[in-house]
Amino acid sequence: MKPAWDDLMQAYEGSTTGLVADVDCTAGGESLCSTMGVQGYPSIKWGDPSALEDYDGGRDFDSLKEFADENLKPMCSPSNLDLCDDEKKKEINELMAMSIEDLQNKIEEKEAELAEAETTFEDEVKKLQETYEQLEKTKTEKQAEIKASGLSLMKSVYSASGGAKEEL
């Protein structure tokens, strides 16, 4: 992916409407990556710098370029109200009318919901893993029990008695 990303950075070099850049999350960019919620490498984020979104499209140059061409442009936001539809303008104005404390509380509430969703997911995946491991153990034990009950001997007698010959 690195060569495709480097080509995309070059294609957007000097753009006045979109920035394509990379950050080394293991060195000087570690605090930025932490702030932006980067959890794995490589990660691609896009959107308003104060509310970046995860990119989950293709990683080849053509996919990246198509996405960038469609999305790296001024977007509806408090600083670009003229790009918003009436519903989004109303929502932004309602949020802007809130006190900083109320807005911060609302943000924290939504972030807590995100964290809860992630925790629920991780807990349920752990339960699934435990269920899978138990099912695998039960299957293995049952297969061993069936084989130990004389299956191989039955097959041998069947073959010796003129039963169907299996090709090896």
pLDDT in tens, 50-100: 778 888 888 888 998 898 888 888 778 888 899 899 999 999 999 999 999
- Whole-model pTM: value is 0.54
Residue 132 covered by a domain: no
| 57: containing domain | 2-75
Say if 48 falls within a structural domain: yes
Q: Domain for residue 148, yes or no?
A: no
- C-alpha span between 18 and 49 (Å, rounded): 11
Query: What is the CATH number for 13?
Result: 3.40.30.10
The answer to whether the CB of 63 falls within 8 A of the CB of 53 is: no
The CA-atom distances, in angstroms, between 67 and each of 38, 42, 56, 114, 119 are 20, 17, 10, 25, 30
In a domain, 164, yes or no: no
Is 41 inside any structural domain? yes
**Structural domain tally of the chain?**
1
Token duo for residue 45: 């984020």
Q: Evaluate whether residue 21 is within a structural domain.
A: yes
The CB density around residue 5, as the number of other CB atoms within 10 Å, is: 17
Whether the CB-CB separation of 46 and 75 falls below 8 Å is answered with no
Give the tens place of pLDDT for each residue, 90-121. Answer: 999 999 999 999 999 999 999 999 999 999 99
